[in-house]
Amino acid sequence: MTLFLFLFVLAAGAAATGYVYWLGRRVVPVDHVGIVRCVWGRPHPDATFRNVVPDTARGVLAATLPAQRPTWLMPWLYTVEPVPRIYVPEGMVGLVVALEGQKRPRDRQVALPPVEDCDHFQDGAKFLRGRGEEGPQAVTLPGGSSYAINTALFTVRTVPRTYVPDGTVGLVKAKVGKVREAGQPFARHVPCEDFQDGATFLRGGGEQGRQLAVLAGGTFYDINPEIFEVLTTENLGAGREGLVAEQLALTSIPVGHTGVVITRDGDEPDENEKVGPRVGGHRNFRLAWEFIDRGGRRGVQQETLKEGSEYALNPWFVQVLLVPTFLLNMEWNKKDSAKQGNYDARLHELDLETSQGIRLRVEVSQSLRIPSAAAPRLVSEFGSSPDAGRLAGGALTDDPQPVQRFVERVLGATVENYFVEITADSTVKEFLSGILDIRTNLSSQVRNALKAWGVEAVRTNIERVRSLDQVYYDERQRIFSEDTRGDLLARQMEHADAEQAIEFTRMETEKKRLILQIEAEAELLGADHVRLSRMIQDMSKLPVPNYIGGDLSGYLESMPMNLVRNLLEQLRTAEKPPETVAEAPPVAQVVASEDEPDLWDEPPGPHGGDGGTREDT
């Protein structure tokens, strides 16, 4: 009986134990986490932990039960509530809010992470023991993962990752942090992995307000929007924080221009310092905090941005003015409304008056080139209005005013003063006749005036001179007529010299031809025959009356005395017999042409003789 009772009690105890074990066995389903509550017991001695406790005490335990791992808890003392795991989708970021923890300082709106690593808030006990603070947490949960988080201690909401479009920059404004000093336009720079590590930003003394660093385009960032506000082209809308969407583009310097940089922060420039000195280490103003830390001055900078390059610049920190470096042609002429944006928009025709009181209107042109090194001084001296120009993308402003003012006040004044002095001491004739010297002297004066500003003068030209008085045109016509007459006489002299040279050449050629012809006839027929033939030809060309009576003497009397003398001389020469003559060749009969009369029916013999005469038919 006693044994039976013992066995019964043992069986009943085993059954009760099994029942109690069954009641206390807990298995959390897949993709869930078990939240444990202690129903009975004393509260936690630290009043900070009101509902969730880091250790065994009455309330919700910070530690959770993992999924699919059997755990036994005393029934009626603990309850377990399975809740789904927290999943942060890809392309999102999880923002965590601690429902309990240490109180934050009054000047900090976001909680810093605990001293101990709490494994992305999955170890609530370490969070509480490490003096984790209640409220929004600086640390975020990366996307594409699930987390076993105690939802009684933490709440999690998801927001999209911050994306900065390609070809643009993102500007950051801190919502929390220390308060900046009065008059300080930008917060002190704190490296924090492109603002993805909010805890490091806060621990490093990060300040509220506009940040100097920018976010590169074409990238996603895990940025906590509780700490930072990021301005991009997608959320800027019609404009905010003094910016429009175009200003978030990359700053691209077009070819043929240089970018003059104006910084809005830095050391105070000296009283006579027009242009800030070069400062190294800031990578063309990309690292704005390096520029400030190395003693960079506020205002116009000597260092310029080169053409054909792109820069990720902070438009809050810098403004870049475009200054042309290509060849510029300035014209003094009438301007219409379409040319008001040109660099020579303030140059107009020059109205002058000569010493005679004649009014002239002169149009001039001047080519020049502004080197990159000279551009900062021009911007500093001639300035730019805050609302002038147009946005050219990024931190660029295309404002023609600095160059327009330089052209008007330096180049324009030099040209106008020179012409006023020249025309006041000149007559119209002196002005017109000395126009080449005037242009040369003007070019020299312009070159010297531009050189003082580091600008290169290329070409100076007087395009047009007109008058408001008719006497000017009369004087100009007279000068033109005199110049034209001189040119005409000079050309006639040249032609006369050429004709004379041609005539001399022709006469020399004819002379050589006749000599060759006579030599050929003399060789073939004999010298006497040639002389006699030439005499007869000359006589046949002489003018004689239609009728001559008598003998040869009457004919000779009708000829001029010099011709008669020459013919007689030729006859005497022809009568001298040669030293050795074998036989005289027969002489051909001369036949007169139809236009000229026949002088003889037969030629005279070698010793002369009377020739007969006849009446011309």
At residue 545, the pLDDT reads 55
Q: 442-449: long-range contacts at Cβ-Cβ below 8 A with a sequence spacing of 24 or more? A: 442/364, 442/415, 442/418, 445/414, 445/418, 446/366, 446/411, 446/414, 446/415, 449/410, 449/411, 449/414
Percent of the chain with pLDDT over 70: 84
Ranges assigned E (strand) in 308-376: 310-311, 318-324, 328-331, 350-353, 359-369
Domain boundary (234, 249, 264) is at 249
User: How far is the CA of 392 from the CAs of 235, 241, 270, 321, 376, in angstroms?
Assistant: 20, 19, 31, 9, 19
pLDDT of residue 307: 95
Both 208 and 291 in one domain: the answer is no
pLDDT of 571 above 50: yes
* Structure confidence at residue 572 as a pLDDT band (50, 70, 90): low
Q: Give the separation between CA 310 and CA 314, rounded to whole angstroms.
A: 13
pLDDT in tens, 89-111: 999 999 999 999 999 988 889 99
Is residue 588 predicted with pLDDT exceeding 50? Answer: no
Average pLDDT over residues 551-568: 58
> What is the mean predicted confidence (pLDDT) over 541-555?
56
- 366 and 500 within one domain: no
Q: Which two structure tokens, joined as six digits, stand for 42?
A: 């004393």
Q: What span, in angstroms and rounded, lies between the C-alpha atoms of 316 and 513?
A: 99
- Does 295 lie in the same domain as 175? no
Same domain, 2 and 59: yes
Confidence at 66, pLDDT banded by 50, 70, 90: very high
Give the per-residue pLDDT at 565.
Answer: 63
Average pLDDT for 553-558: 56
Looking at the structure of the chain, the number of domains it has is 4
pLDDT value, residue 491: 81
- pLDDT for the residue numbered 553: 58
Higher confidence at residue 562 or residue 464? 464
Average pLDDT over residues 513-542: 74
CA-based torsion, 557, 560, 563, 569: positive or negative: positive
Confirm whether 91 is domain-assigned: yes
What is d(CA 165, CA 248) in angstroms, rounded to the nearest whole number? 10
Residues 322 and 456 in one domain: yes
* Mean pLDDT in residue range 353-378: 94
Radius of gyration of the chain (CA): 58
Whether residues 101 and 180 fall in one domain: no
Instruction: For residue range 387-411, list pLDDT tens digits in order.
Output: 777 888 899 999 999 999 999 999 9
Looking at the predicted structure, is the pLDDT value of residue 579 above 70? no
Q: What is the pLDDT of residues 305-314, one digit of tens each?
A: 999 999 999 9
The three-class DSSP label of residue 431 is: helix
Does 603 reside within a domain?
Answer: no
pLDDT at 213: 97
Q: What is the mean pLDDT of residues 282-287?
A: 96
Reported as a single tens digit per residue, the pLDDT across 470-497 is 766 676 677 777 777 777 788 888 888 8
Q: Does the structure show a pLDDT above 50 at 51?
A: yes
Question: What is the number of H-type helices and E-type strands within the chain?
Answer: 13, 27
Residues 190 and 147 in one domain: no
Measure Cα distances from 246 to 276, 485, 487 in Å: 27, 67, 65
Q: Residue 607 above 70 pLDDT? A: no
Query: pLDDT confidence of 420, banded at 50, 70, 90?
Result: very high
For residue 199, give the amino acid letter.
A
Question: What pLDDT score was predicted for residue 543?
Answer: 61
Task: Tell me: do 55 and 78 sit in the same domain.
Answer: yes
The predicted model gives 431-459 an average pLDDT of: 94
Q: With 60 as the cut, is the pLDDT of residue 267 above it?
A: yes
Distance CA 53, CA 112 (A): 20
What's the rounded Cα separation, in Å, for the pair 163 and 218?
A: 7
Distance from C-alpha of 485 to C-alpha of 479, rounded to nearest angstrom: 10
- Predicted confidence at residue 475, as pLDDT, reads 67
pTM > 0.75: yes or no:
no
Answer yes or no: is 588 within a domain.
no
pLDDT for res 573:
59
Label residue 71 exposed, middle or buried (CB < 10 Å: 0-12, 13-18, 19+).
middle
Q: Which has the closest alpha carbon to 34: 74, 77, 75, 68?
A: 68
Q: Is residue 182 part of a domain?
A: yes
Q: Is the pLDDT of residue 504 over 90?
A: no
Token duo for residue 317? 């920190």
Do residues 121 and 205 both lie within one domain? no
Q: Which of 109, 320, 286, 315 is nearest to 189 (CA)?
A: 286
Domain with residue 379: its CATH number is 3.30.479.30
- Distance (Å, rounded) from C-alpha 420 to C-alpha 360? 11
Which of these, 68, 31, 67, lies nearest to 145 by C-alpha position?
31
- Tell me the pLDDT tens digit for each residue of 158-195: 999 999 999 999 999 999 999 999 889 999 999 999 99
Return the pLDDT at 594.
42
Check whether 428 has a pLDDT greater than 70.
yes
Range(s) of the domain holding residue 509: 483-521
Q: Where are the beta strands (DSSP E) in 50-120?
A: 52-53, 59-65, 71-72, 78-84, 86-88, 92-98
> Which of 201, 230, 249 corresponds to the end of one domain?
249
Q: Residue 613 falls within a domain, yes or no?
A: no
- What does the pLDDT average to over 495-513? 86
Which is it for strands 359-369 and 328-331: parallel, antiparallel or unpaired? antiparallel
| pLDDT value, residue 600 | 34
d(CA 277, CA 563): 105
Q: Mean pLDDT over residues 494-516, rounded?
A: 86
Positions of E strands within 28-72 = 32-38, 52-53, 59-65, 71-72
Tokens read off for 78 = 């603990």
Domain-terminating residue out of 208, 226, 249 = 249
What the block records as the tokens of 529 is 């025959």
Question: Can you name the residues that pair with 172 across neighbouring β-strands?
Answer: 230
Q: Are 351 and 358 in contact (CB under 8 A)?
A: no
DSSP category for residue 268: P
Supply the mean pLDDT for the chain: 85
In a domain, 546, yes or no: no
Residues 362 and 398 in one domain: yes
Q: Of the given ranges (213-217, 292-296, 379-383, 575-579), which has the lowest mean pLDDT? A: 575-579
Query: Residues of the chain with pLDDT > 90: what percent?
Result: 55
Quick: pLDDT tens for 523-536.
Answer: 777 777 777 777 67
Is residue 500 a part of any domain in this protein?
Answer: yes
- Give the containing element (helix H, strand E) for 145: strand 145-147
> At CA 388, angle to CA 384 and CA 392, rounded to 5?
100
**Exposed e or buried b per residue across 150-165, where buried means at least 16 C-beta atoms within 10 angstroms of its C-beta:** bbbbbebebbebbbbe
Question: What's at 126, amino acid-wise?
Answer: K
Q: Is 35 a member of any domain?
A: yes
Are residues 168 and 118 located together in one domain of the fold?
A: no
Whether residue 116 contacts residue 130, with contact meaning beta carbons closer than 8 Å, is answered with yes
* Same domain as 139, residue 29: yes
pLDDT of residue 163: 97
Position 459 scores a pLDDT of 96
Instruction: Average the pLDDT over 550-572 and give the result.
Output: 58
